[in-house]
Amino acid sequence: MATRSMVSPDDQKVTFVELFFDLVFVFAVTQVVGLFHEEISLITVGKAVLVFWLVWWAWTQFTWALNAADTTHSVIQLATLVATGIAFFMAVALPRAFGDQSIWFGVTYVLVRILGLTIYLWVASANQALQNAGRTFAIVSISGLVAVLIGSFIGGTPQLWLWGLAIVLDVVAAAVGTQFEELSLHPEHFSERHGLFIIIALGESLIIAAGSVTGSFDTNEILPIALLGVTITGALWWSYFPRTKPLLDEAVESEQGSDQVRLARDVFSLFHFPMVCGIIAYAVTIEEVLVHPDEPMSFIGQLALAVGILLFVGGMAAAVYRATRHILLPRVILVLVTTAAILVFGGTSAALTLGIALSGLIAILMIEHRTIPSFQDIPPLK
């Protein structure tokens, strides 16, 4: 009896085991938000970016592996479930990633990455087109994993430098591993995975807000803040899905071979990282405001809100430009005006600050409803 292939079928769809895997990683997003509970400082921001990149890259590497694999295959499903369990403990260890117990985060992170690499190499062994890319990516990636482990053992300032080196090596691995002309991608599956991650991450921001509201929802200070927070989250969703994400999807689907792979790498694996960072910054702001709803928003809170909107809404404009060379000019102008207004006028009350953010988002959505072209109307790239 012939052995069933682990290579993904042409009509690859997102499966329940992938959604289960994604939920654990978005829990890690919540844990990153928790790093800011004690203080919001440049050091905390730097550490949060470092550790979240590792979380994000573990997820995105697995996404590439599962795009190439048949996720209905029992071996792939079992490996994904094992990775999900390990990722759970990685997320649990995340708040101590820079303390005396950093090795727990480092070891679980490396194990998740190794499982992802193993799946990719399994699939590559059955698909000649993937073998060279898989080996090249794995070799460069392993050097980054070694840097993470050593940094976790050493701790302190050397840990920060070694984890920064790991990030550089991850980017290099992504660059050299996507240069092979034989590479292929299931763009619909790949795009859907990233869209679902964004949905769950936005949902986690609401859960964080709900945790702060529970028990005091009937107070006059909490109710308007909660309403503004929920509405802003909905506006962020609208800024991504109905009009702009289809441009990315169609641009990626229009390419072939390594060109398609590199475009997907850039607009999804790389450009979506700052966008999710924007969701984290927004969640930090909402959590802070709901703890002190009757006080003016601190400048740090204003800055986190402004940066969050800039990274998410502006990051999508950058991704669209990379994919189509079309500049979403109204979005770029309005997001800059909105973030500046938050910083200049937002210090009087939390409600006013959130109102400024919401007004800017609504203006962007209303203009883009009429001005964003379809992909077919954008002149072809030269």
Q: Are residues 325 and 299 in the same domain?
A: yes
Q: Are residues 202 and 123 in the same domain?
A: no
Would residue 2 count as lying in a domain? Answer: no
Q: Are residues 159 and 202 in the same domain?
A: no
Would residue 294 count as lying in a domain? Answer: yes
Count of residues for the chain?
Answer: 382
Q: What is the pLDDT of residue 212?
A: 63
Would residue 5 count as lying in a domain? Answer: no
Listing DSSP states for 247-301 in one string gives HHHHHHHH--HHHHHHHHIIIIIITHHHHHHHHHHHHHHHHHHHHSTTSPPPHHH
- The span from the CA of 123 to the CA of 118, in Å, is 9
Give the number of domains in the chain: 2
Q: Are residues 158 and 201 in the same domain?
A: no
CA dist list (Å): 366 to 33, 247, 337, 338, 355: 31, 18, 16, 15, 16
Q: What is the pLDDT of residue 382?
A: 55
Residue 230 CB-half CA count within 13 A? 10
User: pTM for the complete prediction?
Assistant: 0.94
What is the CATH classification number for the domain harbouring 301?
1.20.1410
What 3-state class would DSSP assign to 173?
A: helix
Per-residue pLDDT of the chain (382 residues; tens, 9 = 90+): 456 778 888 888 999 999 999 999 989 988 998 898 777 888 999 999 999 999 999 999 999 999 999 999 999 999 999 999 999 999 999 999 998 889 999 999 999 999 999 998 888 877 666 777 778 888 889 999 999 999 999 999 999 999 999 999 999 999 988 887 667 899 999 999 999 999 999 988 888 777 666 665 556 678 888 889 999 999 999 999 999 999 999 999 999 888 999 999 999 999 999 999 999 999 999 888 887 777 888 889 899 999 999 999 999 999 999 999 999 999 999 999 999 999 998 777 888 999 999 999 999 999 998 888 888 878 776 5
Domain that holds residue 369: 187-377
Would residue 276 count as lying in a domain? Answer: yes
Q: What is the pLDDT of residue 295?
A: 82
Q: Are residues 209 and 314 in the same domain?
A: yes
Exposed / middle / buried, residue 261 (Cβ in 10 Å: 0-12, 13-18, 19+): buried
- The span from the CA of 377 to the CA of 362, in Å, is 25
Would residue 132 count as lying in a domain? Answer: yes
Domain boundary among the residues 176, 206, 239 is at 176
Q: Are residues 150 and 198 in the same domain?
A: no
